[in-house]
Amino acid sequence: MTCKSAQKQHACVCMPNAVSTTQINRITSTIIEAAIRIHRTIGPGLLEKAYFGCLCFELSSVGLRIETQKALPLIYRGVNIECAYRADLIVEGLVIVEVKALNGLAPIHRRQLLTYLRIADCPLGLLLDFGCVTMRQGIKRVINGYDTQ
């Protein structure tokens, strides 16, 4: 693991050595394809838990390593806060996935994910809102260190 946590004052949970953009893009493409497949099969209207379970099944079945509801720590001014938040999914130790079942994402969802990415030192995250009419409307890709708003 490459960890810059001593300089950044947070716990490093992501970022394996020598991560390529191609590897990250392959993982995110697989996640997005699974989300679209689930949404086309089931449609909107269920609770988040149903989509979360389906997504875990889909990603595991293609051999991706997933961690679910992972408690992630935060070090604030030398104080360790053991469970600052729980990531819905961490895929291959690289991508944080937050699953929603709303009817459109609010700006706070993107800001929260960006904070999660910074604290966990993960390069990329996906917001997946299964409550939208089409899944493509409910996908937001968030890159750590690239704030567009």
pLDDT score, position 114: 95
Low pLDDT (below 70) residues in the chain: 1-18, 146-149
124-129 and 95-100 beta bridge pairing = parallel
Q: What is the pLDDT of residue 2?
A: 32
- What are the φ/ψ torsions at residue 91 (nearest 5 degrees)? -105, 125
Question: How much is the pTM?
Answer: 0.84
At residue 19, the pLDDT reads 77
Pairwise CA distance, residues 39 & 53, whole Å? 13
Q: What integer pLDDT is reported at residue 33 of this predicted model?
A: 98
pLDDT for position 14: 60
pLDDT of residue 146: 66
